Amino acid sequence: MSLAYIAKNSDQGADFRVGDPNLARSVSEIVARLKVPADDIQKALESLEESFGQDVYSELLYVLAHLRMEPDEARKHWDHVLKVRRDLQELLGGVVDVRVALVHYFVNVNRTLKNPKIIELRLFQETQASVYRDELTGLFNYRYFREHLPREIERNDRHDNSLSLVMIDIDDFKRYNDTHGHLAGNRALVALAELIEEAIRASDVALRYGGEEFVVMLPYTPKKDSLIVAERIRQRIERHRFATENLTVSLGIAAYPGDSVDPDDLVQKADSAMYMAKSRGKNCVCLYGDDRRTFKRIDAKLKGTLCGVSAECCPFTTLDVSKGGVLLLADRNLKVGSLIDISMNIDEEVEELACTGRVVRVEESGEDEFQAALQIVDISQRDRHRFYEYLHTAPGRS
């Protein structure tokens, strides 16, 4: 019998999470062998660490005690549990199940569990699944989405990865329901949920957001790659032969951290992109801002020199560096439409970065001072990566 120790009335409380399915599966297999010697268990955990790092211990304590902890904290607690087990075995003169040591540690030593409850794991999982699953489609529901999204963002942020959200809405579904009836509509929703799940990876999460709207969370997936997944979903649904008439969907994509670092704002931007797809004729995919950028927007001021093609150099200071362009101060008027070569010495330890911009706007801001907006038209891939790397790693910059 597999048992789960559930924390009731504790600060961390009981909760439900789906992490990396491969990690969860591997940890569950280790938990099933907890009666074997502790040394063997630890060897299995350390083997998993090579692939998943200390997330192994977060997953382990979640499976065993339903407690959510940061990886380094979870590892420390697990070491304490093993010590408690050794002490108990020496005191009792026999083998002590790791789960017994765990509950003793969290109840009597660490006191995280205020009022623990023992329940057969299968029954607990069935109960939890009913809370976080959509009854019609079997996908995760809106409640799960609202609770899980911030944690998924934190997990991707911890590993310095991107997370993409795909919002999906069925085109003209009200008319479909009115024409064919709600039973046919429900059957279409079930079929569409299956098509979405077939088009994504095991580590991705498909959810029913509400009504005819769905969401797919794509962890560790930059925006440009999520476009491929979204297009695959769109094509599968477009080609599927539904019982009454064919259906199509409109999809919108927003990515963390490039589009937003706030969970609610990220959802809103994915939703905006989806409505943009509707406005463009439906049955298509739109990126928020029509931009495949993965990096965060960063405000920065740089100093360097700019040279018009076949012209003398003059100093400049940037006011802002943003998507596709530079806003700068110059000591002379620049001709709109002209091409400008820009070289930036942004740090003594960083080699000169170079790009070419086209002047798209010039305004006089003072005596012999002009604000010029340049659209970047050429920058090497090497310099682009070096520039972002500098901004992310230089002291005092975020």
Which residues fall within 8 angstroms of residue 263, CB to CB, at 6 or more apart?
Answer: 149, 150, 153
Same domain? For 54 and 102 the reply is: yes
Peptide bond into 257 cis (omega under 30): yes
Domain count, the chain: 3
Same domain? For 339 and 275 the reply is: no
Q: Which range, of 25-34, 61-70, 204-213, 256-265, averages the lowest pLDDT?
A: 25-34
Whole-number pLDDT of residue 122: 67
Same domain? For 148 and 86 the reply is: no
- Do 207 and 216 contact (CB within 8 A), yes or no? yes
Whole-number pLDDT of residue 364: 79
Place of tokens 């006089």: 364
Q: Which residue has the higher pLDDT, 255 or 376?
A: 255
Residue 352, CB half-sphere, CA atoms under 13 Å: how many?
A: 8
Same domain? For 10 and 73 the reply is: yes
Straight-line distance from the first to the last Cα atom of the chain, in angstroms, rounded to the nearest whole number: 49
Same domain? For 138 and 167 the reply is: yes
Residue 232 pLDDT > 90, yes or no?
A: yes
CATH code of 264's domain? 3.30.70.270
Q: For helices 182-198 and 173-180, what crossing angle results, to 10°?
A: 130
Residue 192 pLDDT > 90, yes or no?
A: yes
The closest alpha carbon to 82, from 115, 38, 52, belongs to 38
Same domain? For 368 and 386 the reply is: yes
- Round the average pLDDT of the chain to a whole number and report it: 77
Residue 16 pLDDT > 80, yes or no?
A: no
Phi, psi dihedral angles at 91 (to 5 degrees): -70, -40
Q: pLDDT digits over 56-113, tens only? A: 888 888 878 878 788 889 899 999 988 998 899 888 888 888 888 888 888 888 887 7
Pick the last residue of a domain from 131, 160, 185.
131
Residue 233 pLDDT > 50, yes or no?
A: yes
Alpha helix segments (H runs only) across 159-222: 173-180, 182-198
Q: How would residue 34 be classed by pLDDT, with cut points 50, 70 and 90?
A: low
Q: Which residue has the higher pLDDT, 107 or 14?
A: 107
Q: Specify if 166 maps to a domain.
A: yes
Sign of the CA dihedral with 287 first, then 290, 293, and 298 last: negative
Phi, psi dihedral angles at 153 (to 5 degrees): -65, -45
Sign of the CA dihedral with 72 first, then 73, 76, and 77 last: negative
Residue 11 pLDDT > 50, yes or no?
A: no
Query: Residue 88 carries which side chain, given as an amino acid letter?
Result: L
Beta strand 285-287 pairing with 249-256: parallel
Average pLDDT over residues 391-396: 48
Same domain? For 140 and 111 the reply is: no
Q: What is the DSSP string of 89-116?
A: HHHHTS---HHHHHHHIIIIIS---SS-
Whole-number pLDDT of residue 5: 44
The closest alpha carbon to 75, from 101, 42, 108, belongs to 42
Which residues fall within 8 angstroms of residue 397, CB to CB, at 6 or more apart?
Answer: 298, 300, 391
Q: pLDDT digits over 107-150, tens only? A: 888 887 777 766 666 666 666 666 788 989 999 999 999 988 99
Q: Specify if 50 maps to a domain.
A: yes
Query: Residue 284 carries which side chain, given as an amino acid letter?
Result: C
DSSP state at residue 133: B
Q: pLDDT digits over 167-180, tens only? A: 999 999 999 999 99
Same domain? For 16 and 91 the reply is: yes
Pick the last residue of a domain from 100, 131, 162.
131
How many Cβ atoms are within 10 Å of 64's Cβ, its own excluded? 22
CATH code of 322's domain? 2.40.10.220
Average pLDDT over residues 231-245: 92
Q: Which residue has the higher pLDDT, 49 or 157?
A: 49
Same domain? For 138 and 121 the reply is: no
Q: How would residue 186 be classed by pLDDT, with cut points 50, 70 and 90?
A: very high
The closest alpha carbon to 270, from 253, 250, 295, belongs to 253
The closest alpha carbon to 250, from 166, 182, 184, belongs to 166
Same domain? For 162 and 31 the reply is: no
> For the CA atoms of 120, 124, 125, 128, what is the dihedral angle to 10 degrees?
180
Q: pLDDT digits over 285-333, tens only? A: 999 975 555 544 444 444 555 554 444 555 555 544 454 566 777 777 7
Angle CA(103)–CA(104)–CA(109) in degrees, nearest 5? Answer: 115
Whole-number pLDDT of residue 303: 52
Whole-number pLDDT of residue 152: 87
- Do 115 and 97 contact (CB within 8 A), yes or no? no
Angle CA(33)–CA(148)–CA(42) in degrees, nearest 5? Answer: 25
Q: Specify if 60 maps to a domain.
A: yes
Q: Specify if 367 maps to a domain.
A: yes
Q: Specify if 330 maps to a domain.
A: yes
Q: Specify if 398 maps to a domain.
A: no
Q: Specify if 84 maps to a domain.
A: yes
Q: Specify if 295 maps to a domain.
A: no
Whole-number pLDDT of residue 160: 73
Query: Residue 91 carries which side chain, given as an amino acid letter?
Result: L
Average pLDDT over residues 360-381: 74
- The C-alpha atoms of residue 41 and residue 31 are separated, in whole angstroms, by 9
Place of tokens 């299956």: 194
Pick the last residue of a domain from 267, 290, 313.
290
Residue 395 pLDDT > 50, yes or no?
A: no
Domain of 181, in residue numbers? 133-290
Same domain? For 69 and 81 the reply is: yes
Whole-number pLDDT of residue 130: 66
Same domain? For 157 and 285 the reply is: yes
- Do 307 and 341 contact (CB within 8 A), yes or no? yes
- The C-alpha atoms of residue 328 and residue 363 are separated, in whole angstroms, by 11
